[in-house]
Structure 1
Amino acid sequence: MRQRFIRALELIGVLALLSIETLLVVQVVARLVFSISLSWAEELARYSHIWLVFVGAAVATCWDAHIQVDFFTAFLPKGALRQLRLGVAVLGAVFSSLFFSSAVLLISQLWATQTASTGMPFPVFFMPVVIGGAFLIVAFLWSAMILSRSREAVAESSVANSSAERGGLP
């Protein structure tokens, strides 16, 4: 189930990246070949980028691929390292929950406003922030659950394990 969750997030990220590329190519071709400026293409590409960032943050959390400074943790015993990583996962879930609730509050306040070029309601484009926050909560809680059940310092979601399973680079 966890792998399906990660694969679904990866698919959303790939679709967001493809939409960015497609929209920008269409914008360039329309401007250079047909001398037409599509005001909505750049805005939609920007919103697709927002989707990519927030979904990508959840994927990086699932892979344990966020930037980490491990100079001091390299000297910790395995039990202390596991407890530290568990604490970081719990704190990540807490801060993601605060982020999520703030995003929901923002959307509720912006319900009547519209975007400049597309005329769509702003909450439609802030949904990736809410959904990405929810994905981050799930990813951090999943990591905390794995760490709390594991006797080893490195979680099953670590870059080393996931990249070996995936056959790719971390």
Structure 2
Amino acid sequence: MQTYVLAGGCFWCLDAAYRALEGVVSVESGYIGGSAPSPTYEQVCTGTTGHAEAVKVTFDEELIPSDVILDAFFTMHDPRQLNRQGNDVGTQYRSAMFPADDAQRETFERAAERAADWWGGGLVTTMEPLGDWYPAEDYHQDFFTKNPGQGYCLAVAVPKVNKVRARFGEYARR
């Protein structure tokens, strides 16, 4: 098993898209990269804590390659948008990767290089230290499954899930 911590906009979208892939064992939404201890969603939304909305993705490398996990990350968000994804604006929506060790950092850097080619350059994705992880409140966990008719999910999460399913169909859950 391998676990990656990644931030690329609203964690509801990342969570939903990763849960659509076979081999993903668990996804936890949470906060990382900031200075305030045990931040709440409301605090993170102010943009003053320094935390990013992120996901902790645990996957079985025998079922889904790490490159697919990372290429899906760069597919489900626009890594050229600084501190935003669409209408979600603020440092809490930044594109960031949090490697656990040097091996992960190298894997993440290679993925960012591939993504720079697809996106035509201009990536603003940062590599940040894997600091303290704070799980998001329970109502944020698996939000899309619990709230499939919610407006944000329909307008923003569904297209991202569909994009990942289309690009990585052989790994899509049936």
> What TM-score does the superposition give when structure 1 sets the normalisation length?
0.26
Task: Give the structure with the higher percent helix.
Answer: 1
Greater RCO (CA < 8 Å, at least 6 residues apart)? 2
Rg bigger for which structure?
1
> Higher strand fraction: Structure 1 or Structure 2?
2
TM-score by length of 2: 0.26
